């Protein structure tokens, strides 16, 4: 590929860790990644003489400017660094950001009424307020290493397009959806079927034209966002399904989050066999659908999801906070269902996918404690598995697995630089740092331990730099 002067061309040298397969860490040390126009152009492992390699690369590329980042040495402060793929948050409500941490003792339906709809209505009407909130949520998630995210905006078109514009400006890869709710919604925050469809069509075209003006790299894409079955009419669901198919637009919605919600769905849609069937019967279940929560599913429902190739956004912080339940992730994975992680702010209180991964691991252990020993161990998710959900799993659910989520040639450089032992929560002692004199297995074990420490103790301070498509955004 021909390098351009606009995007950064990088030569990176040192430690790269990712999780191309569920449960497995891929650890590369003394590795060079060559990034041209934001894309990983070359990967070379076991490079000892970095200076010679740099000279060679520069001469092959006519001595254009490369930023060189060498993290191979132990830092003078005793810390260790490694590159890790950027996180993918597959479920986040941008306008709810001011409410993170505020949920009291509510559960889903009264939480929506008390906290959520009034705030979304405010940000739907007041674009100045919306802009300040959206900027904050984009900045905060980027600071926490989230390079791709799927946002729910509000029911208002302008406020939705504004969010897409800000994602482009601040450099976050994003899906942005106008929330649809044309039935059983509160009078002050609802729309008609016609409004919903017309406004959605405009949102799709507005977001696509913003993206093409910015280079047409699909950095920001529209996503159809019927809020959840109890608040979307059948004809709207059906119409959105058609738009999804003919305009190739993904869909995001909620499914099977709380018992009260499931009862509501049963009474509103008695003709459908279960909650998942409501989406299936009304044209919304396909390989581009992202289903948040999926906690209380039956075997039949899981099979429908697996057959349709839709993906799941597991939101363990939200599920614990508003006491929705425990999603059986292993059970879903065993059925071949794609699973990812979502912060679900503000049902979830944290903008961090690292924290979400940690909570996902702990929730899996709560499930394990309720099952028999033998089966229980199987239910436990490991750090490597939750990191997979946070990266490759997210890419699969958003159908971006050829673009982001791991370090392979041809993929976009969406990444974070992690520094552990830099004086924050993650204390690392000298003997815990891999060294060239260690045996190969010892090096692997030490890296695994460092990654485990990061997952359990880290926060945004360990994420020292972030890139999206080769552009540094932190």
Q: Does 120 contact Zn ion by CB under 5 A?
A: no
Report how far residue 79's alpha carbon sits from residue 422's, in angstroms, rounded to the nearest whole number. 5
Using CB under 5 A as the binding criterion, the count of chain residues that bind Zn ion stands at 1
**Which residue's CB is nearer to Zn ion, number 261 or number 344?**
344
What part of residues 282-321 is at the interface with Zn ion (CB under 5 A)? Answer: none
Give the shortest CB-426-to-ligand XAN separation in angstroms: 30
**Which residue's CB is nearer to Zn ion, number 183 or number 291?**
291
C-beta separation of 360 from 329 below 8 A: yes
3-state secondary structure of 328: coil
Q: At what angle do helices 353-370 and 440-457 cross, to 10 degrees?
A: 100
Give the shortest CB-346-to-ligand XAN separation in angstroms: 8
Q: Does 344 contact Zn ion by CB under 5 A?
A: yes
**Which residue's CB is nearer to Zn ion, number 91 or number 453?**
91
Give the shortest CB-94-to-ligand XAN separation in angstroms: 11
Beta bridge partners of 26: 18
**Which residue's CB is nearer to ligand XAN, number 313 or number 463?**
313
**Which residue's CB is nearer to Zn ion, number 344 or number 460?**
344
Give the shortest CB-3-to-Zn ion separation in angstroms: 41
Q: Does 257 contact Zn ion by CB under 5 A?
A: no
Beta bridge partners of 253: 291
User: Exposure pattern of 435-451 as b/e (b: 16+ CB <10 Å)?
Assistant: eeeeeeeebeebbbebb
Q: Does 261 contact Zn ion by CB under 5 A?
A: no
DSSP structure string for 82-148: EEEEPEEEEEEEGGGGGGTT--TT--HHHHIIIIIHHHHHHHHH-HHHHHHHHHHHHHHHHHTTEEE
Q: Which residues bind ligand XAN (CB under 6 A)?
A: 93, 108, 112, 116, 227-228, 254, 257, 318, 344, 347
**139: CB partners within 8 A, 6+ apart:** 170
Please give the torsion angle defined by the CA atoms of residues 107, 112, 116 and 122, in that order, rounded to the nearest 10 degrees.
-160
Q: Which does 447 bind (CB under 5 to 8 A by kind): ligand XAN, Zn ion, none?
A: none
Q: Which span (166-174, 205-213, 342-350, 361-369) binds Zn ion, by CB under 5 A? A: 342-350
Q: Which residue is nearest to ligand XAN (CB)?
A: 347
């Amino acid at each position: 590929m021909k390098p351009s002067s606009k995007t950064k061309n990088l030569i990176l040298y040192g430690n790269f860790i990712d999780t191309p397969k569920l449960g497995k860490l891929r650890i590369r040390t003394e590795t060079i990644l060559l990034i041209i126009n934001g894309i990983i152009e070359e990967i070379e492992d076991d490079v000892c003489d970095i200076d010679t390699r740099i000279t060679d690369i520069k001469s092959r590329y006519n001595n254009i400017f490369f930023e060189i980042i060498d993290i191979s040495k132990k830092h003078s402060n005793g810390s260790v660094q490694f590159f890790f793929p950027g996180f993918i948050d597959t479920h986040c409500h941008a306008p709810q950001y001011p409410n993170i941490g505020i949920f009291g003792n509510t559960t889903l339906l009264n939480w929506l009424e008390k906290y959520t709809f009034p705030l979304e209505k405010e940000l739907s009407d007041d674009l100045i307020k919306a802009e300040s909130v959206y900027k904050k949520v984009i900045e905060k998630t980027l600071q926490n290493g989230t390079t791709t995210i799927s946002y729910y905006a509000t029911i208002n078109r302008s406020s939705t397009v504004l969010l897409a514009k800000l994602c482009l400006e601040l450099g976050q890869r994003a899906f942005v959806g106008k929330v649809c709710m044309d039935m059983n919604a509160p009078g002050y925050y609802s729309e008609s079927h016609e409004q919903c469809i017309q406004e959605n069509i405009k949102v799709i075209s507005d977001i696509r034209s913003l993206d093409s003006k910015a280079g047409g790299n699909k950095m920001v894409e529209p996503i159809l966002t019927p809020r959840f079955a109890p608040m979307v009419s059948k004809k709207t669901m059906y119409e959105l399904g058609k738009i999804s198919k003919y305009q190739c637009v993904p869909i995001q919605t909620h499914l099977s989050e709380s018992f009260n919600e499931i009862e509501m769905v049963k009474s509103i849609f008695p003709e459908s066999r279960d909650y998942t069937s409501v989406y299936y019967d009304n044209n919304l279940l396909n390989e581009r659908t992202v289903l948040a929560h999926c906690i209380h599913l039956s075997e039949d429902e899981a099979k429908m999801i697996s057959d349709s190739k839709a993906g799941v956004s597991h939101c363990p912080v939200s599920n614990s906070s508003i006491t929705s339940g425990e999603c059986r992730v292993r059970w879903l994975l065993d059925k071949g269902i794609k699973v990812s992680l979502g912060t679900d702010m503000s049902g979830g209180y944290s903008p961090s996918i690292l924290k979400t991964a940690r909570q996902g691991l702990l929730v899996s252990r709560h499930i394990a404690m309720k099952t028999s020993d033998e089966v229980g161990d199987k239910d436990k998710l490991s750090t490597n598995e939750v990191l997979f959900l946070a990266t490759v799993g997210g890419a699969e659910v958003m159908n971006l697995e050829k673009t982001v989520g791991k370090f392979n040639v041809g993929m976009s450089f969406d990444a974070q630089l992690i520094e552990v032992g830099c004086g924050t929560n993650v204390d690392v002692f000298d003997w815990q740092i891999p060294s060239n004199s260690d045996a190969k297995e010892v090096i692997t074990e030490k890296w695994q331990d460092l990654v485990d420490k990061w997952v359990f103790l880290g926060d945004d301070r360990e994420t020292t730099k972030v890139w999206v498509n080769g552009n540094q955004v932190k």
